[in-house]
Amino acid sequence: MAYVITDSCTKDSLCVDACPVDCIHPKEDEPDFESAPTLFINPVECIDCGACVPVCPASAIYVLEELPAELVAAADRNAAHYN
């Protein structure tokens, strides 16, 4: 299981500051920040703490099992960023 960032992410990076294991990228000082459509959660490193969910003003973060059907592709996009 892991949490997933979906299409409505505005890249304000609030979740990056909330994550205790630093598994949300790209960060603003990383080279692919500008080109990334959203930030992405590393599904291997995410510890499923849920701390990122309440800080997201766009309600863009879901636990994998609760992804709405129209947003399931986001799970692969998050994982692919780390492959």
Q: Which residue in this structure is represented by tokens 């990228």? A: 25
Q: Is 61 helix (H, G, I), strand (E, B) or coil?
A: strand
Please state, in angstroms and rounded to a whole number, the distance separating the CA atoms of residues 25 and 65. Answer: 21
Pick the binder of ligand SF4 from 41, 62, 75, 78 (CB under 6 A).
41
- Pick the closer one to ligand SF4 by CB: 1 or 31: 1
**Window contacting ligand SF4 (CB under 6 A); options: 20-28, 29-37, 69-77:** 20-28
**7: Cβ–Cβ under 8 A, 6 or more apart, which residues?**
37, 38, 60, 71, 74
Verify binding: residue 56, ligand SF4, rule CB under 6 A: yes
Backbone angles phi, psi at 63, to 5 degrees: -75, 140
**Window contacting ligand SF4 (CB under 6 A); options: 25-33, 56-64, 67-75:** 56-64
> Could you list the residues that contact ligand SF4 (CB under 6 A)?
3, 5, 9-15, 18-19, 21, 23-24, 39, 41, 46-52, 55-56, 58, 60-61
